[in-house]
Structure 1
């Protein structure tokens, strides 16, 4: 088989694996998920995020076209992205809030995070997440600007995940994060490059820089909190990182794109 053909097949397999990892779309890759395959495919996470953002943007545009208000259209767009991802990241955010906020010891915090039941901290975190994202999209209002904002948010929010996985050790030897493994430097660099490029194209270089600074600060704060309280990161922590990043980029977008 020609090297170029094999490279294309690997890229497609990584894209399918990344999409199946963070969405409920029936695109499971034939590439084995073991032996570090998930870690290597993390470069494609922002690409999968871009597709999620485009789906939400399409629903928003259709909702506005049929006469719905920006508030209702924004809610439908959020419902779409949540449905496509199977609320994976929202679940991680809620579990992280419950575990870090409700447990007294490291063991108890990890136990709470594995509990499928949701607590007060988790409910409050989800209300804040949906409220801030909904308000940001409704404030932007213009369908084209909302498209740019959703693409920027969903791409950039996942672009930092490989770096977070690489720099912050797993909190426990089992679980989703530990089984995925640490992404190689190449995957981290590509994901960061894709996220930065999409941010610059959608929000402009200056706003993209603001967004990157905020994402870096959020990542550092969450990493410090996770290491101090539970000894590292878990799949839930990664979900919380994605949600925090998504919120920050939408707020940056709302600051610059509102009313356009």
Structure 2
């Protein structure tokens, strides 16, 4: 590697900040030129930023319960607050994928629908069901400590799977959010999965789900939703887009939370 390449390589802090800028709507301003490969390198930080987003959700839920809100209301406000924090980035992807895959006759039509900013019937239904699933899972867990652990694990693990999905699938569009980010190298995709696995394993252990294969089953369920969506995306539109990545995060998060609820049920 030549000296010029080393000189322009983004620092780990820059990669982390770039991931925060991409995944949240925090008012962070980037100073100076944006390195050309920063988006691609920032992908490895997705699970860490995801876990921090989950921690914010846990603190919000805890504060709401201290204020006297019931578990269902605290769960509702927490899900809404997390959507505001992330700018509903992944929810938008889920709605677009539902509209495109459900309403398009061919790959070109599906991609055109997904690019449309308007939300159709399939997208609205997907958003409602996704919100209800997350609110219901958090309300069922109820205890602030359990909710915080579940959110940290779910948000961290679900975002850890996205670099691997980008590495696995080709871009469905030559231009777009996913294509502009570039493809992560294998090492960074593996690092993201390992970090996400560590977050998930730690939180599931603290939830009392470390015995037997229960914790691995929950992570496998979450990962299988991403694999299933990836297989469908390849068949429907020929690869991955930013919307597909957003939908994958939502489905993986929901599967993770529902897996915890099911495992803790008597």
TM-score w.r.t. length of structure 1: 0.93
**SS of the counterpart of 1:160?**
helix
Q: Does 1:234 align with 2:241?
A: yes
Query: SS of the counterpart of 1:150?
Result: helix
Q: How far has the Cα of 1:141 moved from its partner?
A: 0.3
> Which residue in 1 is equivalent to 2:200?
199
Gaps of 5+ in 2: 1-6
Aligned residue for 2:11, secondary structure, equals: helix
Secondary structure of residue in 2 paired with 1:191: helix
Gaps of at least 5 residues in structure 1 are 1-5
How many Å separate the matches in 2 of 1:79 and 1:258? 26
**Following the alignment from structure 1 to structure 2, what is the Cα–Cα distance between the partners of residues 34 and 169?**
23
User: Would you say 1:246 and 2:247 are equivalent positions?
Assistant: no
Shift in Å, 1:31: 7.4
Q: Which SS does the other structure have where 1:26 is aligned?
A: coil
Q: Distance between the aligned counterparts of 1:37 and 1:157, measured in 2?
A: 21
Question: Structure 1 residues 32 and 197, CA, compared in 2 at 3 Å: closer, same or farther?
Answer: farther
**CA, structure 1 residues 31+246, in 2 after alignment: closer, same or farther (shift >3 Å)?**
farther
Residues 207 and 252 in structure 1, CA contact (< 8 A), matched pair in contact too? no
List structure 1 segments (4+ residues) > 4 angstroms apart after TM superposition. 28-34
Provide the aligned C-alpha RMSD in A.
1.8
Q: Which residue of 2 aligns with 1:90?
A: 91
CA distance in structure 1 between the aligned counterparts of 2:16 and 2:169, rounded to whole angstroms: 24
Offset, 1:11: 1.3
Distance 1:107 1:167 in 2: 21
SS of the residue aligned with 2:65? helix
How many residues of Structure 1 are paired with residues of Structure 2 in the alignment? Answer: 253
